[in-house]
Amino acid sequence: MAVASGDLTRSGDLRITELTAGDWPLFERLLGPNGLQGGCWCAWYRMSSRQYRETGPDEHKAHVRDEVRAGKPLGLLGILDDEPVAWVAVSPRLDNPRLATSRVAALPDDDPTDVWSVTCFYVHRRARGQGIAAAMLRAATRHAFDRGARVVEGYPVDGSKKRPAGELYHGTIEMFSAAGFDLTARRDTVRALMRISAR
């Protein structure tokens, strides 16, 4: 899977590829030695609340690595000029047990089967401000539909007010709207459930 650099403000092409066991070293390099957000390693949604709470960064990393080795879909890497610069977590909703108890992600009255979730974005500081997160969202949506998703959903924040970068890892309502997602429910003054259906 590859995306041209049409939305980027610098030269070079953004190559977007599914995370596989062979690409694990790139994922490690992008997230750094601490795995972001206090050692999350993008395991927050992949583990139950209790399981996550009772383990630490090493176990979070091992859990995600084991799932990648097992061939489970977890997300996409963005590579620019041969360096990993971005990540988007996109996978079947049912593979993310924490969503089942999330107030923000509470389901409409339908079957979660064939629903995929976009739960997290990360763009390295050296590559921000170039439209990369938006490109990652579009690629994640196509990827999910190509893998059989009936619906793709996300849980973005309201980006109309300036927020610290650490609060933007869900993406913004504005970015999801520009990618064709519809506002399904406004959960509070900050977060929303947004969805797009297969055409």
Give residue-wise pLDDT tens across range 29-53.
Answer: 999 988 988 889 999 999 999 999 9
Who's near 28: CB < 8 A, 6+ residues apart?
none
pLDDT digits (tens, 9 = 90+) for 156-179: 998 887 776 667 789 999 999 999
Q: What is the pTM of this model?
A: 0.89
pLDDT digit string (tens) for the chain, length 199 residues: 444 333 333 335 899 999 999 999 999 999 998 898 888 999 999 999 999 999 999 999 999 999 999 999 999 999 998 899 999 999 999 999 999 888 888 777 777 889 999 999 999 988 888 899 999 999 999 999 999 999 999 999 988 877 766 677 899 999 999 999 999 888 777 889 999 999 8
Residues with Cβ within 8 Å of 67's Cβ and at least 6 positions away in sequence, in order, are 46, 74
Whether residue 65 contacts residue 24, with contact meaning beta carbons closer than 8 Å, is answered with yes
